[in-house]
Amino acid sequence: MKIHLKLHAIVASVLLVSSTVSVADDIRDLQDTGPANEWRLIKNDARKNIKAWDKRDDDKRYRSFKLDLMIDAPLETVARVYFDVENYPRWFWEVEEAKLLKKVSSTEFYYYLVHRAPVAQPKRDVIIHALVEPMTAKKPYVLFKLNAVPDYFPLKPPLVRMRAEDMVIKWTPMPDNQTREEVEGYIDPGGDIPAWAINAVQRQAPYYTVIGLQRMVKNPKFVDVTEPLPFKIRE
């Protein structure tokens, strides 16, 4: 009985966050059908200039995701939003707590996040190792590489430690003070959430995260700031 109640709670949570996904898409995710190792377009929002894909990999339990979007803000503003880790709860998908753990250098740091979880599931925490590869004269873009480090410090029950929240984010300056952002990522929340439930949520989470980003770059806190960035984006 407890297992059934827990499963029903997860289903209800998935349906709440996936209200814009069609029934056919939900069924396809439940069955995990479709070709493996091929990107599948799942959202094309022309109004907000966001495209999203997912991919079923043979060697991974959950789907990978990819995004391509335009941000109406210069590169420095976009980077400033990402580098302000403590501000993540205001825009990043289901982040409840965020803090910078360690600044290693001008291009490397570690930070900590706590994510809210579906009903009947414990919250998740994750430690992220971040590397910035600045743009150069021969490389006209910035790479922001994020990888989970589950063993950075001991577990903090009842929180469940995420096994992966890995992303490679590419920022390319564009004309008219815009920035193109391309993201490829993979998330493994750890614990015992069914794969189909995570796949259904991940159809929405990356999209709504960058919606939050597009909103945050308009916040006066990040616009026309004269202070230098905390991490280097240009050589």
**Residue-wise pLDDT tens digits, 185-194:** 999 999 887 8
- CATH 3.30.530.20 given to domain 2-216: yes
For residue range 119-150, list pLDDT tens digits in order. Answer: 788 999 999 999 999 999 999 999 999 999 99
Distance CA 149, CA 164 (A): 8
Dump pLDDT digits (tens) for 44-59. Answer: 999 999 999 999 888 8
The stretches in the chain having pLDDT less than 50 are 1-23, 27, 30
pLDDT for the residue numbered 175: 97
